Amino acid sequence: MSLANKLAEERRGRLAAERLLELKEAELSAANRKLGKHAAALQGEIVETRAEVATVKTENERVKTELGQANQKVQIAERRLWHSVQTITDGFAFFNSDNQMIAANESYLAIFDRIDAIRPGVNYMTILQVLTDEGIVDTEGMPDTEWRQMMLDRWMQPQPDPVTVRLWNDQYVKLVDRRSPAGDIVSLGLNITESVRYQQELKAARTEAEAASRAKSAFLANMSHEIRTPMNGVVGMAELLGDTGLSEEQQLYVDTIKNSGEALLVIINDVLDYSKIEAQKLQLHLEPFDLERSIHEIIMLLQPSARDKGLTLLLDYDLFLPTTYVGDPGRIRQVLTNLMGNAVKFTSEGHVLVRVTGVPDLDAGHAEVTIVIEDTGIGIPEDKIDHIFGEFNQVENERNRQFDGTGLGLAISARLVSLMEGEVWVSSEEGIGSVFGFRIPLKLSEAKLPEHPPVPDGLRRVMVVDDIEANRTILQRQLEQLGLGVVSCASGAEALEQLRDIDLILTDHNMPDMDGLELAETIRTRGVETPILLLSSNPSFATNDPGAKYLHAIMQKPVPRADLFARLESVGPVIGANGAPPPAPEKRRMVVLAAEDNKTNQLVFGKMVKSADIDLHFANNGIEAVDLFQQVSPDLIFMDISMPKMDGKEATQRIRALEEDTGGHVPIVALTAHAMDGDDKGILEAGLDHYLTKPLRKPEIHGMLHDMCPDGVKHPFEDAVPNEGAA
Ligand code: ADP
C-alpha cells in the first residue's frame, strides 16, 4: 500500500476514533446529567425525611409532656375526690361485684369504731355480721339473723331500695346503694338523725294540734248547744210577747228581736253541726226512708221561692232505681236541702234539675246512688271552685254579695257525705250554671226493683206538650220505659198539628203563646176527646180556670212517678170508653188563704192544718192578701189583723169592695191577738165574718175548715180518720 493510502487510511481511522470519542463523551455527559438529576431528587427526599423526623420528634415530646400533665391532673383529681369523700360527714364506700369493699371514707369506718375487720377487702356479709355482733345497729327487736337476712336480700337486689337503720346511739342512717352495670356498688350512709327527729316532733305536734282542734270543736259544739237553749227562750218569748197587744212600734221591735234570733239560730245550728262533725261526735241514725219522696218534699219547700223567680224545678228519678233505702234521712235531706237551696238561691232564671241515678246490686242489697243538682244560675269562677267546700268560704264578688249565708253549708254537706262514705263534686261555668253532685252507698230497704203498674189496654201513644225541653225529655223517658210511644211537642201549636192517633195528652200549664188550658179548650172545640192531664206548678190556679172542665186531672209539678203511674192507670177506663167524653175532673181541694206576716206563725198555722187536704196559700201582708184573693179565689180566708203595709181590716174591706163587682162572699176569719172586750165589734164591722184569738188552737181552725167547706169541693177531712176533722 502506498504511503498516501496508508496516510489516508490512518486519517480515516483517526477520524473514526475521534467520532467514537465524541459519541462516548456525549453519552457520558448525558449519563452525568441523569445522575445529577437523580442526585438532586435524592437530596430533596433526604431533606423532606429529615424534616418529618424532626416533626415526629417534637410531637413525641409534646405528647410526653401532655401525658405527664394529664397524669398529674388525674392524680390531683383523685386526691381531691378522695379528700372530698373523706371530708363529707356521710359514710361512703365502694364494693366490687364480689361484694368486697374496695375503699371507704372515715365516716363510713367510724360507724364501726375502727374495728380492724372493717377495711378494704372485707365482704359485705362480714360487715352485717359485725354490725349485729357488736351491737352497733339497733334491730328494734328483730332477731339478728333475721335482720341480716333482710339486709342481705336487699343488698342483692339489682337496685336496692334505700333503708333507714337506727344505731345504738340513737342516730339514724339512711343507706342508699347504687349498683353500676358492671356490678360495682357505691354505698352511701346518710346521717338523717336531724330530719327523723324533726319528723317525730312534727308528728307529735300534729297529734297535739289535732287533739286541740277536736277539743276546740267539742267546745264549740257544747257552746252552740248552750247558746241554743237560751236563744230558743228569747225567740219563743218574743213570739209570745208579739201576741200581747203591742203598739205598732213595739210590734216592730219584737219582730226584729224574733227574726234576728231566728237568723242567729240558723247560724248556730250550722256551727253546731260543723263542730259536731269536726269533733267526730256526729252519728248517723239509720232508718228506712223513701228517697224520691224526700226529694219531692224538699222541692215543695223550695217551690214558692222558685215560683217567685219564675224558676222551674225538675226531678228526674231513674225509673228503674228503687226509692226506699236504709240511711240517715235527716242528714241526706240536709245535704239535699243545702245543694238544692243553693241552686235556687244562685239562679235567677231557667231551671234547677235534680237527677237521681244508680245501679242497685240486689244480691248485695245495696246501691250506689248518685244525685246531681244542675242549675242555670250565676255559676262559680274557676279560681274559686276549689275553695267553696271549705269552711266559711263564699265567692266574693259583685253578683254574689246580694246573697246571704254562713258559708258553712257546703263544708257541712261535704263532711256529711264523707261521713256516709260517699263523695261530692262540683263543676261550674261562670254565667252558665253549676252542677253539684254526690254519690253515696245506701242499703236497699227491700231487695226488689220497683214495680210499675201495668199500662192500661189501649194506651199506646202519649203526647207530651211542654216548652221546656228538659221537662219533655224526662217525661218522654219515663213513658218510653213503660213501653209507650211518645210524641213530644214544644208548644200548643205543635201539639194541635199532631193530634192524630194519640191516646193521652200530658201538657204543661204555663207556656208562652198558648197555655195548657187554652190548648185543652182548643182541642175540645176541634171535637177531639183524647183525655188531657195538666201538669202545673200552681194547681190551684188551674183548678179555678174555666178551662179546667176539659181536663181529666190536674197534677202538681214535678210529678212523683208513683202519682203519674197511678194517673195513667186511671186513664184506662176513659180510653176504654172509646171516645166517650171524659168524666168530670175529680173534686178539687178547698182553697184556703192565710194572711199572716209572721213566718213562725205561718209555720205554726201550716202545721195545724197539715192533716187537712186543702190547697193552702200564704200572704205576707194585706196587699198580698188582696192580690192572692183575686188570683186563687179562695174558699176561706184566715186574716191576721195586725200586718205591715196593709192591716187585716183594710184588706178585708178591699176584698168586700171587689166582691161588689164580681159577686160572691168569701168567708173571712180574723186572727187576732187583741182579745179585749169590744174588739170583736170593730172586726166584724170591717167585713170579717168570724174571729179567732191567738194563740191559735188546732180544733178551732179545723172547725172553721169543716164548717166553711163549700159544696162540690173535696172535704178537707174526707180521707181522714173520723174525729180528726171537726173537733
Ligand atoms: P252559703 O250559701 O251559706 O254562703 P255554702 O257553703 O252553701 O254557703 O256555699 C258557699 C259558696 O259557694 C256560696 O256563698 C256561693 O258563693 C257558692 N255557691 C254554692 N252553690 C252555688 C251555686 N249553685 N251557684 C253558684 N254559686 C254557688
Domain boundary among 50, 68, 86: 86
Domain boundary among 159, 191, 223: 191
- Which residue minimizes the CA distance to atom 21 of ligand 1? 342
Give pLDDT tens digits for 297-312. Answer: 888 888 888 888 889 8
Give pLDDT tens digits for 582-605. Answer: 455 577 889 999 998 887 778 878
| Predicted local distance difference test score (pLDDT) of residue 547 | 79
Would residue 691 count as lying in a domain?
yes
Residue 186: in which H helix or E strand, if any? strand 185-191
Cell of 29: 455527559
User: Contact at 8 Å (CB) between 629 and 667?
Assistant: no
- Note whether 375 and 410 are same-domain residues: yes
Cα-to-centroid distance, 417 and ligand 1 (Å): 17
- Note whether 219 and 119 are same-domain residues: no
| Predicted local distance difference test score (pLDDT) of residue 295 | 92
CA 444, distance to chain mean position in Å, is 24
Q: Is the pLDDT of residue 672 over 80?
A: no
Give pLDDT tens digits for 46-80. Answer: 999 988 999 999 999 999 999 999 999 999 988 88
Q: How many domains does the chain contain in total?
A: 5
- DSSP reduced 3-state for 87: helix
Task: Pick the more confident residue, 208 or 677.
Answer: 208
Would residue 67 count as lying in a domain?
yes
* CA angle in degrees (0–180, nearest 5) for 113-119-123: 110
Minimum mean pLDDT range among 364-378, 468-482, 571-585: 571-585
Residue type, 137: V
- Note whether 220 and 340 are same-domain residues: no
Would residue 416 count as lying in a domain?
yes
Cα-to-centroid distance, 270 and ligand 1 (Å): 14
Q: Is the pLDDT of residue 564 over 70?
A: yes
- Note whether 439 and 308 are same-domain residues: yes
Which stretches does DSSP call E strand in 107-244? 137-138, 163-167, 172-179, 185-191
User: Contact at 8 Å (CB) between 641 and 684?
Assistant: no
The CATH number linked to 479 is 3.40.50.2300
User: Contact at 8 Å (CB) between 189 and 164?
Assistant: no
Helix axes 409-419, 329-345, angle to 10 degrees: 150
Cell of 52: 418529618
Q: Is the pLDDT of residue 725 over 70?
A: no
Minimum mean pLDDT range among 408-422, 493-507, 534-548: 534-548
- Which residue minimizes the CA distance to atom 23 of ligand 1? 343
- Note whether 565 and 508 are same-domain residues: yes
* Ligand 1 atom at minimum distance from 378 CA: 25
Q: Is the pLDDT of residue 278 over 90?
A: no
Q: Is the pLDDT of residue 284 over 50?
A: yes
- Note whether 214 and 303 are same-domain residues: no
The CATH number linked to 96 is 3.30.450.20
| Averaged pLDDT, 637-666 | 88
The CATH number linked to 340 is 3.30.565.10
- Note whether 589 and 719 are same-domain residues: yes
Mean pLDDT of the chain: 85
Cα-to-centroid distance, 493 and ligand 1 (Å): 40
- Note whether 168 and 220 are same-domain residues: no
Render 155-175 in DSSP notation, one character per residue.
HTSSSPPPEEEEETTS-EEEE
Would residue 12 count as lying in a domain?
no
Q: Is the pLDDT of residue 150 over 90?
A: yes
259 contacts: CB under 8 Å, gap ≥ 6: 599
User: Strand 351-361 vs strand 324-327: parallel, antiparallel, or unpaired?
Assistant: unpaired
- Across 333-348, b (16+ Cβ under 10 Å) vs e yields bbbbbbbbbbbbbbbe
State how far the Cα of 258 lies from the Cα of 242, in Å rounded to an integer.
Answer: 9
Give pLDDT tens digits for 13-42. Answer: 999 999 999 999 999 999 999 999 999 999
Would residue 432 count as lying in a domain?
yes
Task: Pick the more confident residue, 394 or 355.
Answer: 355
Ligand 1 pocket: which of 410, 413, 434 to mutate (most atoms within 8 A of CB): 410
Cell of 120: 378494704
Residues with CB under 6 A from ligand 1: 338, 342-343, 346, 375, 377-380, 388, 393-395, 400, 405-411, 434
| Predicted local distance difference test score (pLDDT) of residue 723 | 40
- Region of 712 (left: φ > 0; alpha: ψ -120 to 50; beta: rest) is left
CA atoms within 13 Å, Cβ hemisphere of 243? 19
Domain boundary among 444, 478, 493: 444
Would residue 28 count as lying in a domain?
no
The residues facing 275 across adjacent strands are: none
| Averaged pLDDT, 659-675 | 80
- Note whether 206 and 292 are same-domain residues: no
Residue found by looking up cell 361485684 in the block = 97
Print the domain residue range for 99. 91-191
| Predicted local distance difference test score (pLDDT) of residue 673 | 62
Cell of 342: 243553693
Would residue 351 count as lying in a domain?
yes
Minimum mean pLDDT range among 7-16, 675-684, 714-723: 675-684
Would residue 304 count as lying in a domain?
yes
Cell of 408: 258553712
| Predicted local distance difference test score (pLDDT) of residue 178 | 92
Most confidently predicted of 63-72, 235-244, 709-718? 63-72
